[in-house]
Structure 1
Amino acid sequence: MIKDLPYFLRALRNFSQYPMGGNWIELYFDNFDEASQDFLSFLMKIDARSDENIARSLFIKNGRYLNLPFLFLEEGMDLASNLEDFTLKISERELKFFSFVALNEEDDLFDFVVRSKENFIELSLVSVDYHSFYDGALLYFDHAFYKINQEQRRLISVLDKQFRVDSAIRFGFSDKDILAQALQQLSTIGKIDAPKYFRVRKFNPFFSLLIKRR
């Protein structure tokens, strides 16, 4: 077990010795298998590129643990998954495989349901029990890590606050246009189940210019 990652990387970079198991061992890059070399090259790359503040957060608990910035997470996890003894657990459940994808309207994290009642229109949200990382920039559910853009992040934050208080949002019939615009935004993060007249469909304008010859 490596107990001081920054020291280990410096020793590897300088072809020097590292204490392990009560002995000092010579570190040579060729002593590691290909997957390990790829991962170590990645660590040395981000360690060399990091300023002092990032380096301080990159290695935590006195250098025992690696805390990858979001910018390097996908590449780091892809490389780490090729290591012989790699294990990934979320909420004590071990993952045998995973993927990184951009969140879109076809994913199953959020479902929005619109129903017309007698005196109002009701918007409800059905969402899965996902995990949130990096202040909401990355969501996890069922072996997939969903990358969230800034606008999606804002929408999810608003929804989280709103539906934490109410199980559904009510609109007056005079607010149908407002609801339709809201559904257009919500369609970027989940599926919409609503009557057709609430949907604002995207269109590409086409103009035809006819010039008469004299």
Structure 2
Amino acid sequence: MTDVPDTHAERAEAAAIRRRWVTLGEIVAIAGLIISALALWSSWADHRTDEAERRAEKAAEAKAKTAVLLTATPRHGGEDLALTDPGHPVQSITVTFPTAFGLPVQSSAPSPTIAARWFAAKLIAMTDGGADSRTGRLPVIIASEYWDGDRQMIDRAIYDIAWRTEGRLLLGRLVRLDGLILRERGKPDQARVDALWSRVAPAPRK
């Protein structure tokens, strides 16, 4: 036989038990909803993270494709440097020198070159009174211009011009150029070039 509550107390206790089971079921259901919501949010957050990473990768790839990396070939015994970038058809460059040189911006086109004569006199004066044969680096801003389809592109970076001086018996010293080294990218400006030059500038004559 099935036990049936007879007394009022027994019926009340049975009702309380049923309510507890209902409450427990509701708690389990709510917990399930919370877990599902958390799983959905986690999936959405992961998706957003993946999308952000993909966008960042695409942006980095696009930036890498537009970045110019100039290489230099000394010509005429180091009188100038012929500049090229196999990945970009660079047509012209402008070169900005440290303020200490007191030189205007120099430009070269359509076959970009850097000429020692642009700054040789200033460098000779800065190194006068020391050894005839000296070597060093000159930081400059180089803006390289090229076309990507119908878009004009300009890449700016700081490069070091590798230079050396040589003594001559009668005509004094001369400056020769040995190469070009990429120093840094970012947003190069005059203050940064001046700061870099202050670190490598020849010591003043005493």
**TM, length-normalised to structure 1:** 0.19
Q: When you count strand as a share of all residues, which structure comes out higher?
A: 2
Name the larger-Rg structure. Answer: 2
**TM, length-normalised to structure 2:** 0.20
